[in-house]
Structure 1
């Protein structure tokens, strides 16, 4: 796929939504050779995966292998290290205090999304910087923008029944492993580790497979007319014009709520009269 296609998608998304952070891509690097040839510079020292994502959302480009991971929880679910008995038995979370007992911790451990692969490392950077398609796209934003993005997904795919979150392993499991494993979308309410890594209290995470991200951006654009008021339509149109984007159609004085209730009332009134 030509790079211009996803650069265009990022531009459209930033016109339709008021994003404060960059849209980030994540690419799994499965061999040492693939890692060495990846375009991003290697991370110096150790960082949590959440912090890597945070820095990429500020514009940084990072590639990291096992030696750069400061969080074993993330390294496990991303396939950087193997699952060990201490983790799979439930002891890892059984000792942390998040869950009332070992059976609960074991159930949570079993159901945290994990990549069923062995990966040498990951490459993380703003989506528009990738020369090779990433596997997953991650967004951190407010609840309004999340709502609009989900409306874009629903426009294309209808009701999504596979959301999975529990306030734990947000960026690694909920925003990366789950979208990758399901080839779909997920929402995360983030977690304590993510908040400590620089994410704000009012932010929500979205993870989605790369190809579906492109489709959802199209759905996002197509729902501007039914979802947005005239004031926001004008702001969006001005930003689209500023970026030279002419293939997003916006109709003023038209919203999915306009006249809908009147139609309902008239229907029931006519039914009652009949």
Structure 2
């Protein structure tokens, strides 16, 4: 398997630390956008069937499964496009897809949104890999967490702990797990927070009181260290 990061992480320890400090009910999910078959560990299970990226994330975080999926496994065309697995569909490109779903006043308003959706170059991704962080056997690109707003507060504080600043988050109420917190985080190298979307809440079991965030794997050690501090700080609500 090709390594795609020079740092060696203890993913099991990092996952345990995040789950304990943040009180997570499910596992953080490690995600990799594999550019070739060489990025897939030997013997790793290939997903059977066709579901959405957000559903695959839920399978990893709730069921503890590690697997990979190719374009034929991705049911959501918008998600597959955002992740770089396929070209954008014509109905999505023109704005008609979300217009017909009642999301926008006009196809133009929809197109203005779609044109700004972060997405990986079409065809650049061979497969998407998923695992609960503690079971990760590959070099991931993103760690994705689904949790209530108070947990997101602690993650935001952890993001700023070392250097300070402000949280700048981008989302549009659509494609929250595939674009907002996977593709955008992959492309920018910065954490991103999303309110979720109707699709991910309907199909993947993200609850009404949960949000989604992703951070790049390069931040894992700093995030673990900072989460331990900010959750135990005297000013932190217990």
TM-score between the two structures when normalised by the length of structure 2: 0.89
Q: Does 1:98 align with 2:103?
A: yes
Partner residue of 2:171 out of 160, 165, 168? 165
Is the 2:156–2:167 Cα contact (8 Å) retained in structure 1?
no
Structure 1 counterpart of 2:233: 225
The aligned runs of 1:22-101 (5 Å cut-off) are 22-35=27-40, 37=41, 39-58=43-62, 59-101=64-106
Distance apart, 1:43 and its partner CA: 0.7
**Structure with the higher fraction of residues in helix conformation:** 1
Structure 1 counterpart of 2:206: 199
Is the 1:136–1:208 Cα contact (8 Å) retained in structure 2?
yes
Distance apart, 1:111 and its partner CA: 1.0
Is the 1:38–1:123 Cα contact (8 Å) retained in structure 2?
no
Provide the C-alpha distance between the structure 1 equivalents of 2:210 and 2:132, rounded to a whole number of angstroms. Answer: 18
Greater RCO (Cα-Cα under 8 Å, separation 6 or more): 2
Number of residue pairs the alignment of both structures matches: 228
The runs of 5 or more residues in structure 2 that have no matched partner are: 1-6
Structure 1 counterpart of 2:130: 124
Partner residue of 2:194 out of 188, 198, 209? 188
Helix, strand or coil at the partner of 1:157: coil
Structure 2 counterpart of 1:150: 156
Is the 1:78–1:173 Cα contact (8 Å) retained in structure 2?
yes
Q: Please, what is the CA RMSD of the aligned residues?
A: 1.8
Deviations 1:182-223 (A, max 9, x none): 101011111111111211111110111111233122122222
Is the 2:181–2:212 Cα contact (8 Å) retained in structure 1?
yes
Displacement over 6 Å in runs of 4+: none
The runs of 5 or more residues in structure 1 that have no matched partner are: 233-274
Structure 1 counterpart of 2:220: 213
Name which one, 1 or 2, has greater alpha-carbon Rg: 1
Distance apart, 1:71 and its partner CA: 0.7
Relative distance call for 1:199 and 1:14 in structure 2 (3 A) is same
